[in-house]
Chains A and B, each alone.
Chain A
């Protein structure tokens, strides 16, 4: 008996086909990876399973019985729960209230907090989430919030649990805890669907793998043991990815220097030198200081000791002065801090140089569009129409727009924080190629990433942070996921 089967699911949106007869077979007690590039139809398939959209054709069976959900609430009532990539939580409410949206246990007209707590306790404990249930959700760290989201799904004791990129915001500790949780779910005979871009993780967590490409199932519930990463990548892309090329910085180019930089609780005397022409990766566990180093260079954080010297000379006083001095900061959180989702692509690309940095003058819409078109072409935004609203683009293309708006300012230092979070493999490779071309133009490129494979593929040099100090600088063949992971966890090579 299968926990859930989807057969021949078809769905198109106004002429664009998202799913063209996709299949999915889930067994109880098995962790099932659902893979595919962005646009391959993963999220549409998940929406169909959870009742968020109704398919044009195809059949859905839950434990053998045919079902068709008309709403997510109905799907949830039948035991299909989702932990989504975008956190659907209320930052101003406490943890407990967030665990029971619209379904609080009640005593008369009042929410029964005692019953809520009693049900939540074991789940929170299982997840190892050690927070006060009365704490305001907004005061939790991103990783903790993600665990709350998972706890919320577990409380309804689902038969099918969909984890949509659950680990993109988790540190290694929580990820390994997730491994334990998956073990528990297996024992409980829950069918788990695991959507992730991190293939290493998929290989270590999942039992079966389904790959979608262009709305069709190309690998259908194959046991993991039969597959390896290259064969999965091949199935996802229909082709192989190029191997990384490493270079060293051009001597005499732009230089960015950090000398003995101290930030309380974050950096304990960090000295680093970056040369134009190289892509330098910063690695570390959450809170180890690598992202703080970025913030210091961007002027968002003032060090209490030591100094920073930008390529033009001088230290950044604040974020705006850093931008003026040629620093660009691309965040992976593009929806919150990167883009105006309701505005067309050209307005987003115009936001830095012609708008934020310009003095009083008239801007010609035509000229802005023209230069946006050129930049969008350079970074490969698809579709190339600059009048498209940014919110309608896929994650990878949104991130390219963010890159384009900073490239418009011709920065001397390009800082990136998890730039390919939630970006599909093809767009990720294109973004890495862009970083390389920026570096080749003699700019300093510094890349922080939680995706270790990204550091391996894109960087010439990887600096590993441990507890506020630089503990290793890896170059050449020593850049591999295994070494980075071990070093950032132990602080020793």
Chain B
């Protein structure tokens, strides 16, 4: 593990776990993290009520779903693909799970079914991409509608209510553990798992190879269709997981939930430092990007902005945050090139 980054002299804390953690953060996502913290402090300075444990916890909890979708999206962007159906897969998994529970299935079984359904929807995306031979962007533009339409039809256009809220599914997944919501713990676990998968397995290297130069990847014996299939299934399963976590938190199924999440997930991944050109990606950055978006939307509530202007203001703050992030990033690049790296 001495190899994380030996090019930049960092004498402080080289032997401590803290030092290692700092290095990992630096490699993965430092600038988006700094942008997020700055934003929290600015909002906190202007509206001190924002800086309470409860409020920050809520921000985290509300960001979990987009963060999970963004983590999966980072894999796709790394191989120059995009999945527009993640928000719809999230919604359809949530509704299906809720309906199964209402029909009397054990909620844990329904939960598992929701995750598996997500994976199957991802597989369907992959098969469409493969057999019609179109980019994932186009294929998922269509399946987004299909999945969303299914969710609305299955839910009959109405909220799915009357769920067994006292069941352990709701009390555990919707509850807390060691001071943090369980869903946040799950997000942390998924983030670590996906980071390991992307960075330290042959599969992760293949994904990034394909994004870096698809022709060279194919000429090295990497199967692009197979890798893409695995990634799309993975993204579906993660969307399914996000769906059942959402159900546990919201305790009812709204067929239109998650509309627009796909664009937020893409934005979060890009803000986090995963470029659209492919080849590199950071799961941690994508998750922080989603948290940044969450901070923006929760923070705006404190500024009594007229409802009709909130979308405008959100866009402006996102631009500002991305600007800070980009400035930090280019400063670091300049420093690196001065060192002749």
Contacts and interface: CB of A to CB of B under 8 A. Distances in A.
Given A338-B216, A341-B213, A355-B222, A362 B279 contact: no
Contact of B216 (A319, A323, A339, A360): A339
11 contacts: A336-B216, A337-B213, A341-B212, A351-B217, A354-B202, A356-B217, A358-B202, A363-B205, A364-B200, A366-B3, A387-B7
A270 interface: no
A305 interface: no
A368 B89 CA distance: 37
B43 to A, nearest CB: 36
Interface in B181-220: 196, 200-203, 205-206, 208-209, 212-213, 215-220
A159 interface: no
B221 interface: yes
Contacts of B222: 351, 355-356
Interface residues of A, number: 36
Given A15-B340, A352-B220, A355-B206, 20 more contacts: A339-B213, A341-B212, A342-B279, A351-B205, A351-B209, A351-B217, A351-B222, A352-B221, A355-B209, A355-B220, A356-B217, A356-B221, A359-B202, A362-B201, A363-B200, A363-B205, A364-B200, A366-B2, A387-B7, A405-B220
B106 interface: no
Interface in A332-352: 336-343, 347, 350-352
A352 B223 CA distance: 12
A324 interface: yes
A331 B220 CA distance: 11
Nearest to B341: A387
Contacts, number: 92
A351 B202 CA distance: 9
Nearest to A405: B220
A324 B222 CA distance: 11
A7 interface: no
Given A320-B223, A324-B221, A343-B279, A337 B202 contact: no
Interface string A267-284: 000000000000000000
Contacts of A369: 3
Contacts of A387: 7, 341
Contacts of B205: 347, 350-351, 354-355, 363
Given A342-B279, A355-B206, A365-B3, A319 B200 contact: no
A356 B213 contact: no
A319 B215 CA distance: 13
Given A362-B200, A363-B202, A337 B219 contact: yes
Contacts of B1: 366
Contacts of B201: 360-363
Interface string B13-49: 0000000000000000000000000000000000000
B221 A319 contact: yes
Contacts of A352: 220-221
A14 interface: yes
Interface of A: 14-15, 319-320, 323-324, 329, 331, 336-343, 347, 350-352, 354-366, 369, 387, 405
B197 to A, nearest CB: 10
B220 A351 contact: yes
Interface string B90-130: 00000000000000000000000000000000000000000
Contacts of A358: 202
A331 B202 contact: no
Residue in A331, A337, A357, A366 whose Cβ sees the most chain B Cβ within 10 Å: A337
A475 to B, nearest CB: 32
A340 B206 CA distance: 12
A357 B221 contact: yes
A295 to B, nearest CB: 12
Q: Which of B200, B218, B219, B220 is the most central at the interface, judged by chain A CB atoms within 10 Å of its CB?
A: B220
Nearest to B196: A362
B114 to A, nearest CB: 26
Contacts of A324: 221
Identify the 4 closest CB pairs spanning chains A and B, nearest first.
Answer: A340-B212, A323-B221, A356-B221, A366-B3
A340 B279 contact: yes
B5 to A, nearest CB: 10
A422 to B, nearest CB: 17
A121 B341 CA distance: 49
B221 A340 contact: no
With a 10 A CB-CB cut-off, give which of B2, B212, B221, B280 has the most chain A CB atoms: B221
Nearest to A369: B3
A1 to B, nearest CB: 43
B209 A338 contact: no
Contacts of B218: 319, 337
A465 B293 CA distance: 63
A14 B338 CA distance: 9
Contacts of A357: 221
A437 to B, nearest CB: 22
B223 to A, nearest CB: 6
Contacts of A347: 205, 209
A351 B216 contact: yes
B201 to A, nearest CB: 6
B216 A365 contact: no
Nearest to A334: B216
Nearest to B204: A363
Contact of A355 (B7, B202, B340): B202
A320 B3 CA distance: 31
Counting chain B CB atoms within 10 Å of each CB, the highest count among A338, A355, A361 belongs to: A355
Given A342-B212, A362-B196, A14 B221 contact: no
Contacts of A319: 218-219, 221
Contacts of A339: 213, 216
Contact of A340 (B7, B196, B200, B209): B209
Contact of A343 (B212, B215, B223): B212
A342 to B, nearest CB: 6
A350 B205 CA distance: 9
A162 B336 CA distance: 35
A337 B215 CA distance: 5
B144 to A, nearest CB: 28
A71 B202 CA distance: 45
B10 to A, nearest CB: 16
B200 A14 contact: no
Contacts of B279: 340, 342-343
Contact of A336 (B2, B202, B215, B223): B215
Contact of B200 (A337, A342, A365): A365
Contacts of A356: 202, 206, 209, 217, 220-222
